[in-house]
Structure 1
Amino acid sequence: MILSCQNICKSFGEKIILKDASFHIEDRENAALIGNNGAGKTTLLRIIMHELSPDSGNVVLAKDKNIGYLAQYQDIHGHHTIYEELISTKQHIIDMENRLRSLEQEMKTTTGDALDSLMNTYTRLSHQFELENGYAYKSEIMGVLKGLGFTEEDFERQIETLSGGQKTRVALGKLLLASPDILLLDEPTNHLDMESISWLETYLLNYPGAVFIVSHDRYFLDKVVTKVVEIEAGNMRMYSGNYSAYALKKAQLRDAQYKAYLNQQRDIKHQEAVIAKLKSFNREKSIKRAESREKMLDKVQRIDKPQEIQNQMRISLEPRFVSGNDVLTVESLSKSFPGQTLFSDISFEIKRGERVALIGNNGTGKTTMLKIINGLIDADSGRFTLGSKVQIGYYDQEHHVLHMEKTIFEEISDAYPTLTETEIRNMLAAFLFTGDDVFKLISALSGGERGRVSLAKLMLSEANFLILDEPTNHLDIASKEILEEALNSYT
């Protein structure tokens, strides 16, 4: 066993996040930590990393083992290039290599016992160098950088010129190269394209240590993990198998629990009816029998009704009116930035009723294309036309459509001034914002919460042409499934 959490409790004010949470991870095991947004997954990781203290309970790491942690948001800075940032993880190997070179020079001019001593040191150090993959560390760095979607031209880019997503990829690369005994990864696939996710799956399957992952990517978890640790309403439970095995087992357990609850309720009602009947006879003998049955009934261990947890947003997408058959026509569209041509001479059409995916690796211009269609930036050449009665609903992954200085309530009421306060509150409750939550500033929200506000605005837009840029980023698994359902039934 490499990591064990024992009876961890954590509350923030009145809100209980974790109660008596216990689980363990074996050496070389790949496990997932899942739960809805706000369930306490990141809190648990921060407790394991000693960034937060639990109210009670212990975290035990096996002797001489070390942990590497990838948080969701990375703030790497400095004047390094991407390559320099990653090679810094191999400094001990570079030092060893330099020492070997200087020993070679010394041996040229040394004789006798001193030479024997140098040769012994050289042999020992060479062996160590080989064990630590010293002859291949440069190609290992190149492999990780390319696997995470960086091109050779990117290697010399300065860290401070990178986007948040690119910094997270650099941090992930550093962590993989450092090869700690246990990897703690919080949403590692959020900023990766399909190719990089596939590379990461293979890397983690062959990783020599243990891996503990928080992720809302069901397909990724299915490929990578063999154990699932779930947090639900503060309680923790372990399941063996991948995500699909967990989902099946969970549904079966819930079903069995509900049946047992209903059966017991039926028995209790029957017993209560018998007791009432016996008492109605008003004879000493039947009253005694009634009392004895009551005592037996009091001793019954009551099964709790399975909790229906109110943590699922409700979304329905309905266009206000039908567009013409031609929705979008793009003709010979081109866009470049200094030193980089993103795309040139692109033409395509979208008709009413079609569902279209725009795919490509990171940096190929997908978001730029969507921004051009939404009139946020201009193309260099070419044009696009929208069909008759086409109304766009745009969900942008960076949430630029949200105003950081506004509260959630203001964001909705300013965009839709005809809605009453009750209508806004009811609508926000469907996206899990209740009570004083609606007065939180947009700037203070997590990625998942901003995503839900953007989806709420999208729903209210009643648009007939939805353009969605990474709509599932930061959404938990339940919310993703609800969005899938809403899009499948969108007319």
Structure 2
Amino acid sequence: MVLSCQNVNKAFHEKQVFRNCSFHIEDYEKAAVVGINGAGKTTLLRIIVGELEADSGQVVFGKDKSFGYLPQNAEVDSEHTIYDELLEVKRDVIALEERIRQCELEMKHVEGEALAALMEQYALYTHQFELADGYSYRSEIVGVLKGLGFTEEEFSKKACTLSGGQKTRVALGKLLLDKPDLIILDEPTNHLDMSSIAWLENYLLNYKGAVLIVSHDRYFLDKIATKIIELDGTEVSVFSGNYSDYAVKKEQVRAARWNAYMNQQQEIRHQEAVIEKLRSFNREKSIRRAESREKMLQKIEVLDKPVETRADMRMELHPRIMSGNDVLDVENLAKAFGPERLFEGLSFSIKRGEHVAVIGDNGTGKTTILKIINGLVEQDAGNIRLGTKVHIGYYDQEHHVLHPDKTLFEEISDEYPALTNTEIRNVLAAFLFTGDDVFKQIKMLSGGERGRVSLAKLMLSEANFLILDEPTNHLDIMSKEILEDAINSYSGTVLYVSHDRYFINRTASRILELCNGGFTGYLGNYDYYLEKKAENTVLSSGTGGAFPPAAGGIKSEASSAASSSLKQDWQSQKEAQAALRKKENALKRCEEQIERLETRSQEIDAEMLRPEVCTDVARLQALAREKEQVEEELLLKMEEWESLSD
């Protein structure tokens, strides 16, 4: 056991955050804390690491267990370079290396017993150095830095000159290199691009320790988590499995609670009707029976009505008019900032009804493309043509479309003067702004609250072409799901930039990957994109060549074989993929059965050698027969494995 929380309670100013919070984390377990914004996820982590004191309850770490904590927006601010800052984590290993070098120097000048003692000390130091992975610590640092998105040219930058997001990545790198028994991360993916998130997933999956994560990245949680700790209201519940498993079980729990509540309400109404009927008989016996039923009814522990969390925020997207079939055409677009060229010769088109996601590493120019289309940034070259009757609705991740000094009410009323006061309040209430909240200034709102105001304006725009820049940033999981449902039911056209892979998977019909200054197109969602990338990697490695770099415009994928596969019928592709997965699963099961049979064969051999068995003829014969059966079955399974492998 690494960590145990037992009946932990916390309240702020009489507002209960959570009550009787209990869970434990075992060695090597990967657990995630989920809940809506304000549920107390960060508060729970701060109590665990000792930054906050619980009102009651216990937080207990296992004996000799260490932990490392990365809060949101953690920063490293020093005069060290990025590389040297991570090198500090390996200070003990470096000191050990220096002692080894010192021993090697001293060996040249001693002999006899002194040399023997020095050799013994040298052997001890060398062994400790090997256990600490001393021979690979520098390559490990380079691997972590590159995995977190730093280039070798950036290794020599001083930490104090970095942006806030880069400083957070340095802090994350130091924590990963420290390798505590329990890594505690609060929103670790906020400042990472998609390739860095994928690297972090693999790192944590293979991490030889336990992990506790707070994250709204559902794709990340699907890959990492083996346990979900949910904060809902003041209740804390624990679910085994990843996020998708949790979502299914949560819906089952919600349905069971709702059914129990409705059944109880129906039973109460039934009993009240019976009591009323018995009283209406106006007989002593019937009245006594009515009173008896009343007493039984009063003893019932009435269930609270389940709270429908997703019913709070309401969002519907409807275009006022339909656009033409050609929504957007971009030809030979180019943009550079000083000597840094982002892209050139970029060409693509979007048709009515498409939901197109733009993905790529940080700094490749994704947001710049959206700003150029919206006329907020001037392109260096190229043409942009909007189709007939196209009306754009723009969601800006930095919320520059909001006016910081205006109140929420003014922000809506100034933009849409035809709305009445009641209509404005109803719209804001749909996005969880009620009462005096509507008179708050925009600049006083949190990132998530500003996101909800921008979504409210987007809904009111009645646009038929939505351009969204990181629309899920600062939204909790429930709000993301509501936005996903709204986009999926939207009849207009959508172009968006996002690093939320779960969101892309649910809403995209086409993906444009921006890489090396050009687009590569994929006709499907994020899972399909990953499948095609994997196929392209196999194709390129099979021919001995590297995957061709992307040039200007939308290009075919990797090779003529990949291009022709895009033209195949979508259904036949999915059927072929399903058949392949079925074979892979059968192969995996066969391997597991072989391993089980081999283990049993070895157990029989060991048992037959035991002294008390050697003298028991009947037992020996039974074991020999079982051994023969196991070997026959093992032979069949191996033949099956061979067939499946082919």
Question: Does the CA contact (< 8 Å) of 2:82 and 2:155 recur in 1?
Answer: yes
Task: Letter of the 1:432 partner, please give it.
Answer: L
Question: Does the CA contact (< 8 Å) of 1:215 and 1:221 recur in 2?
Answer: yes
Aligned to 1:268: 268
Deviations 1:262-288 (A, max 9, x none): 223333333333333333333333333
Deviations 1:74-133 (A, max 9, x none): 333233332222222212212221222222222222333333333222221111111111
Q: Which has the higher contact order (CA 8 A, sep 6+)?
A: 1
Question: Does the CA contact (< 8 Å) of 1:399 and 1:451 recur in 2?
Answer: yes
Distance 1:338 1:84 in 2: 30
Deviations 1:302-346 (A, max 9, x none): 333323347642112223333344333322222223453221221
Q: Say if 1:58 and 1:51 are closer, same or farther in 2 by CA, change over 3 A.
A: same
Distance 2:231 2:191 in 1: 24
Question: Does the CA contact (< 8 Å) of 1:334 and 1:345 recur in 2?
Answer: yes
Unpaired runs of 5+ in structure 1?
Answer: none
Task: Letter of the 1:393 partner, please give it.
Answer: G
Task: Letter of the 1:412 partner, please give it.
Answer: I
Q: Say if 1:489 and 1:273 are closer, same or farther in 2 by CA, change over 3 A.
A: closer
Aligned to 1:212: 212
Q: Say if 1:309 and 1:488 are closer, same or farther in 2 by CA, change over 3 A.
A: closer
Question: Does the CA contact (< 8 Å) of 1:312 and 1:479 recur in 2?
Answer: no
Distance 1:73 1:302 in 2: 44
Alignment of 1:331-346 (within 5 A): 331-346=331-346
SS in 2 for 1:316: coil
**TM-score using structure 2 length:** 0.71
Question: Does the CA contact (< 8 Å) of 1:312 and 1:478 recur in 2?
Answer: no
Q: CA deviation at 1:420?
A: 4.1
Question: Does the CA contact (< 8 Å) of 2:310 and 2:482 recur in 1?
Answer: no
Q: Say if 1:282 and 1:353 are closer, same or farther in 2 by CA, change over 3 A.
A: closer
**1:463 and 2:463 equivalent?**
yes
Q: Say if 1:192 and 1:312 are closer, same or farther in 2 by CA, change over 3 A.
A: farther
**1:252 and 2:252 equivalent?**
yes
Question: Does the CA contact (< 8 Å) of 1:311 and 1:432 recur in 2?
Answer: no
Aligned to 2:454: 454
Alignment of 1:342-421 (within 5 A): 342-421=342-421
Question: Does the CA contact (< 8 Å) of 1:72 and 1:187 recur in 2?
Answer: yes
Unpaired runs of 5+ in structure 2?
Answer: 492-646
Deviations 1:335-391 (A, max 9, x none): 223453221221222233222221212222212222222233322333323334433
Alignment of 1:285-324 (within 5 A): 285-309=285-309, 312-324=312-324
Distance 2:348 2:89 in 1: 46
Aligned to 2:235: 235
Task: Letter of the 2:180 partner, please give it.
Answer: P
Aligned to 2:41: 41
Q: CA deviation at 1:299?
A: 2.6
The alignment yields a C-alpha RMSD, in angstroms, of 2.3
Stretch moving more, 365-374 or 393-402: 393-402
Aligned to 1:24: 24
SS in 1 for 2:75: coil
Distance 1:372 1:454 in 2: 20
SS in 2 for 1:6: strand
- Per residue, is there more helix in 1 or in 2? 2
Stretch moving more, 69-78 or 418-427: 418-427
Question: Does the CA contact (< 8 Å) of 1:2 and 1:61 recur in 2?
Answer: yes
How many pairs are equivalent?
491
Q: CA deviation at 1:31?
A: 0.9
Q: CA deviation at 1:414?
A: 4.3
Question: Does the CA contact (< 8 Å) of 2:75 and 2:171 recur in 1?
Answer: no
Deviations 1:437-490 (A, max 9, x none): 334444443332232222222223332221112211222222111111111222
Q: CA deviation at 1:297?
A: 2.6
**1:182 and 2:182 equivalent?**
yes
Stretch moving more, 237-246 or 346-355: 346-355
Deviations 1:176-196 (A, max 9, x none): 111111111122223333322
Deviations 1:165-212 (A, max 9, x none): 333322222211111111111222233333222222221111111111
Distance 1:227 1:23 in 2: 10
Q: Say if 1:144 and 1:441 are closer, same or farther in 2 by CA, change over 3 A.
A: farther
Stretch moving more, 425-434 or 71-80: 71-80
Stretch moving more, 153-162 or 59-68: 153-162
Question: Does the CA contact (< 8 Å) of 2:406 and 2:442 recur in 1?
Answer: yes
Question: Does the CA contact (< 8 Å) of 2:100 and 2:125 recur in 1?
Answer: yes
Q: Say if 1:405 and 1:124 are closer, same or farther in 2 by CA, change over 3 A.
A: farther
Q: Say if 1:151 and 1:266 are closer, same or farther in 2 by CA, change over 3 A.
A: same
Alignment of 1:3-14 (within 5 A): 3-14=3-14
SS in 2 for 1:458: helix
Question: Does the CA contact (< 8 Å) of 2:271 and 2:293 recur in 1?
Answer: yes
Question: Does the CA contact (< 8 Å) of 2:75 and 2:170 recur in 1?
Answer: no
Distance 1:349 1:163 in 2: 35
Q: Say if 1:443 and 1:61 are closer, same or farther in 2 by CA, change over 3 A.
A: farther
Stretch moving more, 85-94 or 266-275: 266-275
Distance 1:39 1:69 in 2: 20
Larger radius of gyration: 2
Q: Say if 1:79 and 1:65 are closer, same or farther in 2 by CA, change over 3 A.
A: same
